[in-house]
Amino acid sequence: MTPTRPRVLVAMSGGVDSSVAAALAVEAGWDVTGVHLKLAETPAHLQVQGKGCCTLADADDARRVAGTLGIPFYVWDMAEEFRRAVVDDFADEYAGGRTPNPCARCNERVKVVGLLARARTLGFDALATGHYARVEGGRLYRAADRAKDQSYVLYMLGPAELDHLRLPLGRMTKPEVRATAVRLGLRTAAKPESFDVCFVPDGDTAGWLERRLGRRPGQVVDTDGQVLGSHQGAYRYTVGQRRGLGIATATPRYVLRVEPAAARVVVGERAELAIRTVALERVSATDGRGPRPGHARVRLRAHGQEAGCQVVPLGNRVRLDLDEPVAAVAPGQAAVLYDGDLVLGGGTVAATVPAASSPGG
Amino acid sequence: MPYLDYAASAPLRAEALAAMLPLLQRPTANPSSQHGPGRAARVAVETAREQVAALVGAAPGEVVFTSGGTEADNLAVKGAVLARPEGARQLVCSAVEHHAVLDAAAWAEADAGARVALAPVDPAGRVDLKRLAGLLEPGRTALVAVMAANNEVGTGQPAAAAAGLAHAAGAVLLCDAVQAAGLPGVDVGRDGIDLLALAAHKLGGPTGVGALVVRTGASLRPLLHGGGQERGLRSGTLPAAAIAGFGAAAAAALAEREASGFGAALGALRDRLLAGLRALEPGLAVNGDPADPGRSTGAPPWGSPDPSAAGLPGLLSVRFPGRRAEDLLLLLDRQGVACSAGSACASGAVTPSHVLLAMGRDPAEARETLRFSLGHASTEADVDAAVAAVRGALEVLAPQEAAG
């Protein structure tokens, strides 16, 4: 019997990365089908000039690339799932005083895990995406291009997903990806990078949140409770933020905590941002076996520095005792654990303990 | 490849291609030119005009060629609104009109001082004439839009009765006959239709050409200005080859309608498809009117004996409970079978159809609908292949049920 070609669904956003991922999947000899997810609910005619993800132009670009590659192509409307799982969650998290990672959330609920389940239902052997990370031997690793590495937003994948996920760009650098796009004549070769949150195309997250949540004025206070100023909504502030506090002090002040119930933003000195202990919730491990105690490296934001830590499992939570203090860790962010290039897993930051106070509180 | 998407676009008929080729190969084909090749193109255009007029019982001079059904609907709606003084620009449309009508009406409301009222439909998708009558404002209503048969579910509409109501209110009736012009057919004289929209490619002609039949007495403002072609109602060089293809397709469609048995045979194919699908999915639900006289062989006549109210014999809109139309479409496409889901947005995604929502389906149900449409070249083999492909698709999706 001749071996059958694996049937692979490729998520095509219309950007250069997923375009090249699709092209490499075809070159690999797989039986490839492209799908573009319509995630925005904005009427199409308002999106034509839009930036960010999921515009009409992006769907057209993805379709043209699929046509160039000669693969079947579909557009699936997952706007409702996206709104419920990602957009509403984004607003809810900020309203609760946390700093969400919508890309991780989207991968968890829509783009990777959700789409993979649907692909499997439709008889596909695997899902391929344009993420920069590697899947080898059923484990998740950082991308070869460390500057582009996106393993941080994929940490929640387990063996059930990783066994059926293909990341063709994992060993490539961005210039190589662009060169491949040029070589194959893909029209997305020179497309600019997308930044920001795709459903906040103008990048004004505070304005977006204000339209959605309304003004919720309150006070800016120091750690002693002394009022230093006022604000229009605690959701406008993130731990570590310095700009936009609207207060005049001798030394710079930083957001230490956001207390939405009291409509209070607590600020303090830079040194007070230092965190020694982090508690994680919604913890997962890429090997599916749960977090194990021991030493690891942890990344606490997408483009932040990494720190060594001791992993201390506590039931369905995990405590991380950091080797050295890390500044400005916001509840709601993803914390991703690594052993070298191997992604061990991670969770969502539930609480932090400042280096200045005693741990365990 | 089994093609069951005639309502989206019918395959080009051999007669249409044969009529087009000589015109495409000529040195020039501007029908307005005062020389031999120009006159030859003009002859082809006027022949086609007669063929198109004959299809719908119109006079050749009433046929205004357009770029397609969308332009015909736009010209009718916007042209009728602009021909009326402000204050007399009310529009009444059935809720299941094509977007070319509804969106043109929305434009007129936003930008031309019109007001739009939508007439609801019953669960089969047939417009409620009582409610429609209640929306008319005698002296102020400019246009009533009731299509001949719906493009998504196939339900025939009482266009003749609507025309009577429109006329009594001093309004003109626009009937979008893009789907119904071949079968069951329309007759502008019999049905009292003032404006009738047609598209060549739904009849087996080329895309890019259609017509608005403008009956004497209906006053319209043109939307395109220029050389004054088509009685000044639609400027622009006439695409002689495309129009010739349109005429040939219209003639072939008329011959089919008049040939005894073609309509019944198409209805029988549709019934064969429905029976095959029912055997696979007992929970299958048919959208539209299953007892429509134009659609099912041997079915008792539905409601009034209005011959204009017959539906599309070759169209079958069905709901697969618990299945996403998107998923079924992919699995059918994989097996080489072409059909369509309810409706698609600009990005190509399947969105809940306004027709199904107007019929009382909820958005989730609307996303479970597939539309199969048959036509001039459809065969039993096509139908059987489609049924086999649906069986295959349901088999792929089956484990999901076992697991869930």
Q: Which pLDDT tens digit goes with each residue over A110-147? A: 999 999 999 999 999 999 999 999 999 999 999 999 99
| Smallest Cα distance from A30 to chain B, Å | 15
> What is the model's pTM?
0.88
- A149 and A255, same domain (yes or no): no
* pLDDT of the residue at A48: 39
* pLDDT of the residue at B89: 97
| B349–A76 CB contact, under 8 Å | yes
Cα separation, B197 vs B97, whole angstroms? 12
* pLDDT of the residue at B343: 67
Nearest neighbour of A123 by CB, restricted to B329, B346, B396: B396
Would A211 be classed as within a structural domain? no
**Residue A345: pLDDT above 70?**
yes
Q: What is the pLDDT of residues A73-94, one digit of tens each?
A: 999 988 889 999 999 999 999 9
Cα separation, B135 vs B121, whole angstroms? 13
Would A261 be classed as within a structural domain? yes
- A36 and A175, same domain (yes or no): yes
pLDDT bin (cut points 50, 70, 90) of residue A44 is very low
**Residue A338: pLDDT above 50?**
yes
- A13 and A137, same domain (yes or no): yes
Would A198 be classed as within a structural domain? no
pLDDT bin (cut points 50, 70, 90) of residue A357 is low
Could you tell me if A46 lies within 8 Å of chain B, comparing CB atoms?
Answer: no
Q: Domains in chain B, ordered, with CATH?
A: 14-255 (3.40.640.10), 262-403 (3.90.1150.10)
- A228 and A332, same domain (yes or no): no
| Smallest Cα distance from A197 to chain B, Å | 21
Contacts with B399 from chain A: Cβ below 8 Å: 121
Q: Which residue has the higher pLDDT, A295 or A192?
A: A295
- A61 and A177, same domain (yes or no): yes
| Smallest Cα distance from B401 to chain A, Å | 10
pLDDT bin (cut points 50, 70, 90) of residue A304 is confident
**Residue A195: pLDDT above 70?**
no
- A18 and A158, same domain (yes or no): yes
**β-bridge pairing B195-199 and A218-222:** unpaired
* pLDDT of the residue at B291: 59
Cα separation, B212 vs B230, whole angstroms? 11
Cα separation, A239 vs A266, whole angstroms? 9
Containing domain of residue A224, as a range?
A: 218-268
Nearest neighbour of B346 by CB, restricted to A44, A118, A122: A44
| Chain A nearest-CA residue for B345 | A44
- A53 and A118, same domain (yes or no): yes
The CATH number that applies at residue A88 is 3.40.50.620
* pLDDT of the residue at B204: 98
pLDDT bin (cut points 50, 70, 90) of residue A249 is confident
Please give the tally of structural domains in chain A.
3
Would A140 be classed as within a structural domain? yes
- The residue to which tokens 């006549």 are assigned: B301
Q: Which of A192-201, A268-277, B177-186, B297-306 has the lowest mean pLDDT?
A: B297-306
* pLDDT of the residue at A45: 40
Q: What is the percent of chain A where pLDDT is above 90?
A: 75
- A337 and A227, same domain (yes or no): no
Helix (H, G, I), strand (E, B) or coil at A353: strand
Would A45 be classed as within a structural domain? yes
- A19 and A163, same domain (yes or no): yes
- A40 and A81, same domain (yes or no): yes
Q: Which residues of A are catalytic?
A: 106, 198
Q: What is the mean pLDDT of residues A35-48?
A: 67
Q: What is the mean pLDDT of residues A32-58?
A: 67
- The residue to which tokens 């029209």 are assigned: A187
DSSP letter assigned to residue A86: I
Contacts with A74 from chain B: Cβ below 8 Å: 326, 329-330, 348
Contacts with B329 from chain A: Cβ below 8 Å: 74
| B345–A44 CB contact, under 8 Å | yes
Classify the phi-psi angles of A54: left when phi > 0, otherwise alpha if psi is within -120 to 50, otherwise beta. Answer: left
| A121–B347 CB contact, under 8 Å | no
Q: What is the pLDDT of residues A167-190, one digit of tens each?
A: 999 999 999 999 999 999 998 888
The CATH number that applies at residue A257 is 2.30.30
- A28 and A105, same domain (yes or no): yes
Would A204 be classed as within a structural domain? no
Would A127 be classed as within a structural domain? yes
Could you tell me if B106 lies within 8 Å of chain A, comparing CB atoms?
Answer: no
| Smallest Cα distance from B104 to chain A, Å | 15
The CATH number that applies at residue A285 is 2.40.30.10
Q: What is the mean pLDDT of chain A?
A: 90
Would A200 be classed as within a structural domain? no
- ipTM for the predicted complex comes to 0.84
Averaged pLDDT in 10-residue chunks for chain B of 404 residues? 94 98 84 89 96 98 98 98 96 97 97 97 95 97 97 93 96 97 94 97 98 93 96 96 98 93 90 95 88 46 55 93 94 96 73 92 92 96 98 87 45
| Nearest alpha-carbon partner for A119 in B36, B400, B236, B54 | B400
* pLDDT of the residue at A42: 61
- A65 and A121, same domain (yes or no): yes
**Cα(first)–Cα(last) distance of chain B, in Å?**
34
